[in-house]
Structure 1
Amino acid sequence: MLDLMRLFAQVVEEQSFTMVARKLGISQPAVSNQIRAFEEKLGVKLLYRKGKGFALTPEGETVYRHTLHMLDEWSELMREIGDSEKLMSGKVHIGASHIPGEYLLPIYLAAFRKQYPEIKFKLSIGDSLEMAEKVLAHEVDFAVVGAIFDTEKLTSEFWLKDELGFVISSDNPLCASQSIELKSFREDPMIIRETGSGHRRAFEEALTKQGLDLNDFNIALEVGSTEAVKNAVRSGIGYSFLSKHALESCEKQGLVWANVKDFSIERGFYLLTRRNKPLTVAADASYRYLASQMSETRSVRN
């Protein structure tokens, strides 16, 4: 039964019988037959056709939710009886906001897989709020985001420090300024991230400390990713504030990082999990590895 539960969870996660069959090295009909056998054992229909794909029935949603919980409990049991090494394989689904997902996690996960090459990863990227919702919905094992979500059901652990800096295109006249003040570019067009991103939240909190808000600026463009911000700044639409992690080779990208007098934006990235809910063995090992890489500077709380 446990194998059927794992297969069912994998089919739901991949949203593809073909993909699961390919990964398991079996035929698609074999996967279909196993799911049908699982339905017969439970006495309910779990999936129904929807367009070219499928969706969960109400009973299927209930079974999927309990399946994830029971697989988590099984992993916890095996961990406690000392069999974790045998289970150090499988797939870990991590959610991430844009900066950690695009610029940081690929590096750390590559290093981790040198120790545990049998562990596979799926990385979903979106804004911090979206990733928090995915953690709550059991759609990802855990997440790495740019905002704190300490609630009744979620808990955040500080991971790495980040800094947002003023960024303009290399041909912007402000590049020649020795000292840039906040008031000097308030009328110029600005590019910002979308509502829900930790990036935007950190920027708005920094403005509040200055007695300002976004209405005091000329917002020309709102976009949903860091790369889109960089491309918009590079094309000359306006300036923005970007993470230092996204600008390792700033000059080569046609962008210039400049300091703004008496205005700094610091924030943290956080490991986000469901409160009091154990991770699978593989997910727990991944989480612990990332936590062990955390910055020595733990004072950033946004």
Structure 2
Amino acid sequence: MLDLMRLFSQVVEEQSFTVVARKLGISQPAVSNQIRAFEEKLGVKLLYRKGKGFALTSEGETVYRHTLQMLDEWSELMREIGGSERVMNGKVHIGASHIPGEYLLPAYLASFRNLYPEIKFKLSIGDSLEMAEKVLTHEVDFAVVGAVFDTEKLTSDFWLKDELACVFSSDHVLSLSQSIELNQLKDYPMIIRESGSGHRRAFEEALMRSGSDLNDFNIVLEVGSTEAVKNAVRSGIGYSFLSKHALESGEKQGLVWMNVQNFNLERGFYLLTRRTKHLTVIAEECYRYLTSQKSEVGG
């Protein structure tokens, strides 16, 4: 019955038998048959056709509400008994944008795995928007991203603070400056991250607060990852703005970073889940562990 309840909640959330079937790796008729079996067990009709889609009957709305409550209670029960090795094993699939995925999460996951050695991980890395979509489509259990996604179906929980700094190659004409202002940068070639990244969004918002926008700058290259930005800056194509988490050994690698006067480039990293998240026991425990590590201090 619990499996039928999970399936029913997924169908309601996705508003599509086909989408749910694809995610579960089964046929669409199989999903329809299981929903029909759920209706037969309860003795009520849960869904009715509405245009090209479907809607909940009044009984379906009641069942859906109680289904969510019962799934939450089941998750709580499993968390309370989750200390046993019998339960705490399996795989957690986490989505992450580039900075948390490449520079932060590996250390945190290693610490978590010291607590639960039987747990394995899959880490998918992409831009923040891509990871938000993966959370929505249940392709990952949850995600860690550099942008807020508070929508009808998604919720974001602050995790860690990040700060972006201006980065030059060590032989750039501005690399020896004692201080720089935003206006000084406008004529020099600039490298930026792609649209959809939390990094790009944070940079554009900071420019807006300062009364500028990207059109004021000489953008010569747009790239899809932090490492690509670093390598492009190092090669002398132009300067950029990067997370300080990615620049701990920047000067040794031919990079020099500095803050820009009166230009605040702080942002946050966020734990991203579905509002009606029904995480597995181990995914929930991992999420809770990361939440416990949240900090206001950038690194």
Shorter-chain-normalised TM-score: which range?
0.7 to 0.9
Residues 276 and 58 of structure 1: CA distance in aligned 2, closer, same or farther (over 3 Å): closer
Using a 3 Å threshold, how does the CA distance of structure 1 residues 170 and 56 change in structure 2: closer, same or farther?
farther
Structure 1 residue 196, shift from structure 2 partner = 0.3
Residues 216 and 78 (structure 1), Cα distance of their counterparts in 2 relative to 1, 3 Å cut: closer
SS in 2 for 1:294: coil
* 1:83 aligns to 2:81 (yes or no): yes
Alignment-derived partner of residue 223 in structure 1: 223
Alignment of 1:59-74 (within 5 A): 59=29
Cα pair distance change 1:62/1:122, threshold 3 Å = farther
Count, aligned residues: 245
| C-alpha distance 75-205 of structure 1, shift in aligned 2 (>3 A) | closer
- Give the superposition deviation at 1:252: 1.2
Residue 261 of structure 1 corresponds to which residue in structure 2?
261
Decide whether the 8 Å contact of 1:75 with 1:280 is kept in 2.
no
Q: State the distance in 2 between where 1:252 and 1:62 align.
A: 59
Equivalent residue for 2:147? 147
- CA–CA separation in structure 1 for the residues paired with 2:169 and 2:34: 49
Partner of 1:52: none
Change in Cα spacing, 1:178 to 1:276, as seen in structure 2 (3 Å) is same
Which stretches in structure 1 are left out of the alignment for 5+ residues?
4-45, 48-54
CA shift for structure 1 position 64: 11
2:174 counterpart residue number: 174
Counterpart amino acid of residue 142 in structure 1: F
Q: CA 1:63–1:271 in 2, change beyond 3 Å: closer, same or farther?
A: farther
1:26-72 per-residue CA deviation (whole Å, 9 max, x = no partner) reads xxxxxxxxxxxxxxxxxxxx89xxxxxxx76444787999xxxx9xx
Query: Percent of counterpart pairs with the same letter?
Result: 71
CA 1:194–1:78: 2 relative to 1, 3 Å: closer
Structure 1 residue ranges (4+ consecutive) displaced by more than 4 angstroms after TM superposition? 59-65, 73-76
Take 1:284 and 1:141, find their aligned partners in 2: how far apart are those partners? 9
Normalising by structure 2, report the TM-score: 0.75
Mapped partners of 1:101, 1:59: distance in 2? 38
Distance 1:214 1:61 in 2: 48
Paired with 2:89 and 2:72, the residues of 1 have a C-alpha distance of 12
Q: 1:84–1:64: structure 2 CA closer, same or farther, 3 Å change rule?
A: farther
**Residue 277 of structure 1, CA deviation:** 2.1
Q: Contact 1:165–1:264 at 8 Å: present in 2 too?
A: no
Contact persistence 2:71–2:278 (CA under 8 A): no
- Name which of structure 1's ranges 257-266 and 148-157 shifts more when overlaid on structure 2: 257-266
Point out the more displaced range, 115-124 or 176-185. Answer: 176-185
* Alpha-carbon separation, structure 1, partners of 2:33 and 2:141: 18
Find the aligned partners of 2:200 and 2:145 in 1 and give their Cα distance. Answer: 13
Answer yes or no: is the 8 Å Cα contact 1:130–1:196 preserved in 2.
yes
CA distance in 2, matches of 1:242, 1:150: 25
Counterparts of 1:40-119 in structure 2, within 5 Å, are: 57-59=27-29, 77=74, 79-80=76-77, 82-85=80-83, 86-119=86-119
Change (3 A) 1:297 1:254: closer
1:258 Cα shift?
A: 1.4
Unaligned runs of 5+ in 2: 4-20, 36-66
Aligned residue number for residue 11 of structure 1: none
Counterpart of 2:47 in structure 1 is none
After superposition, the Cα gap between the structure-2 partners of 1:212 and 1:56, relative to the gap in structure 1 and judged at 3 Å, is farther
